[in-house]
């Protein structure tokens, strides 16, 4: 392959999508307000974590300090939420992280992000459907599971689940039909179920503070083992060993246990990105997306912390049932009748969580098909203004996976896709904030050229060797107070370098006990990351008014990237092998179909472009011309 052909292929892989920031997708129904989006985010996020995760983390990792674990996990999620809020206000269109990547960093990364989001939502929907089936089966005394084990076993250990789950398929197909029927109807059902879920959790919190015993936060391991504190110790359960009790008190396993619990609790907040995916169907997305994201995260954090506090007040942390903590807690305090309310709340929470997982999946498929990266028939919209073919295909994929695969095999795949999306969103905020606006692009280019020529002339007058229009000093002291193509290019390169450094840092940190001189390597990588961050901090930002902007740029997005990449490195090798197989199938579709049928390729060839140079590097500038003056279009300088 010739050099020109390689260059042409490279330009295709990084071509950008230009979108009108003031126009939504006219083909979809724009009927959702801030309350609808907030309910969608809460329903998707506040699921099984409140009914299972709090007890499991309290017993094994953090003790009563599990509520601190949830708060720390919420802070980590807020970092991603802030980035989603800004991009939702900047690019209020259907597509979520996929669209943001397409606008900011190019087509190939957009496809990778979208393809991983599809994997994340399919596995997330399937795992929740399996959990929903188990919750319903609990009400009927495990009779459904026994029937399935006898009549539909799957004899493929380590590959498939132990038995097929037709009940999970039925709930997936039922919600698929609801989504096909209309987004407004699905939103109404979601709001009703979310309200029921919140009321049940509020009941749990109130009961916990009424029937709880503060002594359960001040337990002494020696007294527990000697069974002397009969007022708060449940001697009917097997007492754990001394090591399993920790040091007792509110934080029995220390702050390291709190952080370990926070890493697990982080996944309880996965799901709020559904708000960004629904931005194209919001009445006023510039306002509704930031408000809905903030409200959803705040309510979920309060609910998780409240349930964690109530549970550990009712039952000593060592005696919690990690599989069914809330029903066991009410049985412990003698309120067996309340377990029925918990069962109803659990089914309601899992229903909203499933609907929240299934809602964005067809929107991502539709957005990719609309852009030509997936097959065009998936972009068909029904008379009810819903992506009908994408919804049906999404429902079919989710139902097949829910039928055949076990929950534990799906969670890691969901986590990788979600964390990658969070990472790309943070990177997109960095890139877009430092690019010049379209209206000032040409003038910024002229000013940059003139200023660099003046700087070179001054250096020659002082007897210094000219720097050919650019010097390393400009990385820390830019010549212009406004963003220019050069400063935008610097930030892009810094973002790429930061991604590589953070990956290396996370790998070394995860293997700190195995790699020689790992402490020195971590220090060296930390200094490099800090240097790159300072260079970005010195570049001028766009001065524009949005409904919301991430504060403390670039530090919040950089921290979000670090947290997300580190969590990805903690996942198992088996999960990465499965993701690699999924990505291989995606690349076959992209290079076999998407790269030739991309709508960005057609718009790029039709759009009028200008090119300018800055110094000897000859950085090409591509400015998309607006059809009418005054439009604020998202554009990029390569």
The DSSP element (H or E) to which 361 belongs, if any, is: helix 360-370
Q: What pLDDT was estimated at residue 486? A: 86
Q: Report the alpha-carbon distance of residue 298 to residue 296 in Å, rounded.
A: 6
Q: Report the alpha-carbon distance of residue 389 to residue 377 in Å, rounded.
A: 7
Decide: residue 464, CB within 10 A, 0-12 exposed, 13-18 middle, 19+ buried.
exposed
Q: Report the alpha-carbon distance of residue 415 to residue 421 in Å, rounded.
A: 10
Q: What pLDDT was estimated at residue 25? A: 58
Q: What pLDDT was estimated at residue 628? A: 35
Contact 445, 621 (CB under 8 A): yes
Q: Report the alpha-carbon distance of residue 461 to residue 454 in Å, rounded.
A: 10
Alpha-carbon Rg for the chain, nearest whole angstrom, is 27
Place of tokens 């929107």: 363
Q: What pLDDT was estimated at residue 95? A: 67
Question: What residues pair up with 282 in beta bridges, in sequence order?
Answer: 32
Q: Report the alpha-carbon distance of residue 429 to residue 422 in Å, rounded.
A: 11
Low-confidence residues of the chain: pLDDT under 70: 1-2, 19-27, 94-95, 157, 223-244, 407-409, 438-470, 511-518, 601-638
380: helix, strand or coil: coil
536: helix, strand or coil: helix
Q: Is the pTM of this model over 0.85?
A: no
Q: C-alpha distances in angstroms, 99 versus 320, 388, 416, 554?
A: 43, 20, 19, 21
Q: Measured at the alpha carbon of residue 227, what is the angle toward residues 225 and 231, in degrees to the nearest 5?
A: 130
Place of tokens 């009940």: 167
Q: What pLDDT was estimated at residue 225? A: 64
Q: C-alpha distances in angstroms, 100 versus 97, 150, 423?
A: 5, 48, 11
136 closest CA partner among 344, 337, 322: 344
Domains and CATH numbers, the chain: 28-240+268-433 (1.20.1740.10), 439-571 (no CATH)
């Amino acid at each position: 392959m010739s050099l020109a052909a390689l260059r042409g292929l490279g330009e295709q892989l990084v071509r950008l999508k230009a979108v009108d920031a003031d126009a939504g997708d006219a083909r979809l129904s724009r009927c959702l307000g801030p309350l609808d989006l907030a309910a969608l985010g809460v329903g998707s996020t506040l699921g099984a974590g409140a009914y299972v995760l709090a007890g499991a983390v309290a017993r094994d990792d953090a003790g009563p300090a599990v509520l601190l674990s949830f708060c720390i996990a919420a802070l980590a999620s807020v970092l991603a939420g802030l980035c989603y809020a800004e991009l939702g206000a900047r690019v209020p269109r259907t597509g979520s992280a996929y669209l943001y990547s397409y606008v900011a960093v190019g087509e190939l990364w957009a496809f990778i992000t979208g393809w991983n989001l599809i994997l994340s939502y399919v596995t997330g929907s399937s795992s929740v459907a399996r959990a929903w089936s188990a919750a319903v089966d609990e009400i009927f005394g495990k009779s459904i599971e026994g029937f399935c084990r006898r009549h539909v076993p799957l004899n493929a250990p380590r590959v498939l689940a132990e038995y097929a789950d037709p009940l999970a398929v039925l709930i997936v197909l039922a919600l698929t039909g609801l989504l096909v029927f209309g987004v407004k109807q699905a939103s109404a059902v979601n709001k009703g179920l979310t309200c029921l879920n919140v009321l049940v959790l509020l009941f749990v919190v109130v009961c916990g503070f009424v029937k709880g015993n503060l002594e359960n936060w001040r337990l002494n391991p020696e007294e527990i083992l000697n069974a002397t504190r009969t007022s708060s110790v449940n001697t009917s359960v097997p007492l754990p060993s001394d090591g399993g009790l920790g040091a007792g008190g509110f934080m029995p396993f220390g702050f390291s246990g709190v952080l370990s619990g926070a890493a697990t609790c982080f996944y309880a907040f996965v799901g709020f990105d559904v708000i960004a995916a629904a931005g194209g169907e919001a009445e006023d997305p510039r306002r509704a997306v930031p408000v809905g994201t903030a409200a959803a995260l705040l309510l979920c954090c309060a609910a998780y912390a409240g349930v964690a506090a109530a549970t550990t007040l009712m039952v000593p942390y060592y005696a919690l049932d990690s599989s069914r903590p809330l029903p066991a807690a009410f049985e412990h305090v003698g309120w067996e009748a309340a377990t029925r309310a918990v069962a109803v709340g659990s089914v309601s929470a899992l229903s909203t969580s499933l609907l929240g997982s299934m809602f964005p999946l067809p929107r991502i498929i539709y957005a990719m098909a609309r852009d030509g990266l997936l097959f065009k028939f998936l972009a068909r919209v029904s008379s009810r203004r819903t992506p009908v073919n994408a919804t049906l295909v999404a429902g079919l994929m989710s139902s097949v996976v829910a039928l055949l695969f076990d929950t534990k095999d799906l969670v890691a795949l969901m986590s990788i896709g979600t964390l990658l999306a969070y990472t790309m969103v943070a990177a997109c905020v960095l890139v877009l904030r430092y690019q010049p606006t379209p209206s000032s692009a040409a003038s910024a280019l002229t000013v940059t050229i003139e200023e660099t020529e003046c700087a070179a002339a001054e250096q020659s007058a002082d007897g210094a060797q000219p720097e050919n229009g650019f010097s390393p000093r400009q990385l820390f002291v830019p010549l212009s107070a406004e963003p220019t193509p050069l400063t935008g290019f610097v930030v892009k390169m810094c973002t790429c370098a930061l991604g590589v450094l953070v990956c290396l840092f996370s790998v070394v940190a995860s293997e700190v006990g195995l790699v020689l001189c790992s402490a020195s390597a971590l220090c060296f990588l930390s200094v490099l990351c800090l240097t790159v961050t300072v260079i970005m901090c010195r570049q001028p930002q766009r001065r524009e008014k949005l409904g919301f902007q991430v504060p403390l740029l670039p530090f919040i997005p950089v921290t979000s990237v670090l947290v997300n990449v580190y969590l990805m490195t903690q996942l198992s090798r088996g999960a990465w092998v499965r993701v690699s197989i999924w990505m291989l199938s995606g690349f076959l579709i992209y290079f076999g179909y998407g790269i030739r049928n991309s709508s960005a390729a057609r718009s790029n060839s039709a759009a009028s472009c200008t090119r300018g140079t800055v110094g000897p590097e000859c950085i090409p500038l591509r400015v998309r011309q607006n059809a009418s003056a005054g439009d604020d279009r998202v554009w990029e300088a390569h």
